[in-house]
Amino acid sequence: MQSIELFYPLLATPKNIIITCHQKPDGDAMGSSLGLYHFLQQMNHHVTVISPTNWADFLNWMPGVDAVLDYEADRKKAQQIIDAADILFCLDFNILHRTKNLEQPLAKASCIKVLIDHHQEPQTQAFDYGVSDTSKSSTCEMVYDFIVQSGHQHLINQNVASCLYTGVMTDTGSFRFPSTKASVHKMVAHLKDLGLEHSSIHSHIFDSALENKLRFTGFVLLNRMEVLYELNTAIMYVYSADLKRFSIKTGDTEGLVNYLLSIQGIRFGAIVIDRDEERKWSFRSKGNFDVNTFARTHFEGGGHFNAAGGSSKKSLETTLADFKRIIQQYEADLNKPN
């Protein structure tokens, strides 16, 4: 994978460009994709954003989201666009299998492939150009850097700013995570100088839930949470029947795991959700407990030092029992002073 700086000259003439991200895109994945989309359109490129799957309703306000193609909903059209592409941008994922059923079409695509991502251990051999920087708060911050460093910061309009702010705000936990470095605040200050209306974005993301989501949150906190104080760990588990009971849709479970870290003394929070075809894990930690390594070692996952995900094909009860057994191995680490 060559340096991203060597790619900049290829943007000088109009191209057919595809932008994609990981399955079930969150605020950073969709924000970086649409931010880049609005930027490249101004340079007269023909741009299509292809999401591997559907996405959460709370992202539907974003400018340009109505033009995003859902690969699972229209594979034939998506494949035609991939076949005609000159350039493929891969955002907010480090390895192709995080695009689910889109993995093979992307791997077989003959176009130039560009990676912009902040997760650990990228699949560098799959990309022609790219940048992977785990110190960055979000892929949206990296797309902002891409625009500025390529010499086109004058093309950051309100659409670009709104999309990029969405991702950096959500991936930093509203600017409270350690990844919120000075560069993040400088970026936001620049976007504000350009006229960014941040309050409305917060409202779209955090104040648009339906009643059933709030009742679901209360139900799982009351009935599906265990606290292992001797390990400074809290666990939450959600059955598929729970999802159906409360009519839970894509994105409605996002952020649940963060409640666990709000408990005094808890340093490791984990949630497992029964998604029928597999059990999906989310891990969060405080301080020096590495959930990326934990997820890679035990649950076929990965991510960041303090935020990672994983999966299991076992039943919810079995994978939960596995977790409780495995976590005993980390008692010393979880009780070690930060």
- Render pLDDT for 282-328 as a digit per residue (tens, 0 to 9): 999 998 999 999 999 999 988 889 999 999 999 999 999 999 999 99
Which residues of the chain form CATH 3.10.310.30? Answer: 211-334
Q: What's the pTM value of the predicted model, to 2 decimals? A: 0.91
DSSP string spanning 300-331? Answer: S-EE-SSEEEEEESS-HHHHHHHHHHHHGGGH
CB atoms within 10 A of CB 328: 11
CATH assignment of 211-334, among 3.40.50.1100, 3.30.1330.90, 3.10.310.30, 1.20.1250.20:
3.10.310.30
Reported as a single tens digit per residue, the pLDDT across 69-116 is 999 999 999 999 999 999 999 999 999 989 989 999 999 999 999 999
What letter represents residue 54's amino acid?
A: N
Question: Looking at the DSSP assignment, which residues form a beta bridge with residue 20?
Answer: 50, 90
Kindly give the interhelix angle for 158-171 and 139-149, rounded to the nearest 10 degrees.
140
DSSP string spanning 248-290? Answer: --TTTTTTHHHHHHTSTT--EEEEEEE-SS-EEEEEEE-TT--
pLDDT at 276 over 90: no
CATH superfamily of the 2-206 domain: inorganic pyrophosphatase (n-terminal core) (3.90.1640.10)
Pairing of strands 46-51, 16-20: parallel
Q: What does the alpha-carbon distance between residue 312 and residue 124 come to, in Å, rounded to a whole number?
A: 25
Which residues of the chain form CATH 3.90.1640.10? Answer: 2-206
Nearest CA-CA partner of 185 in 195, 202, 172, 199: 172
Kindly report the average pLDDT of the chain as a whole number: 95
User: What pLDDT shows up at residue 336?
Assistant: 84
CA 113 to chain centre: 19
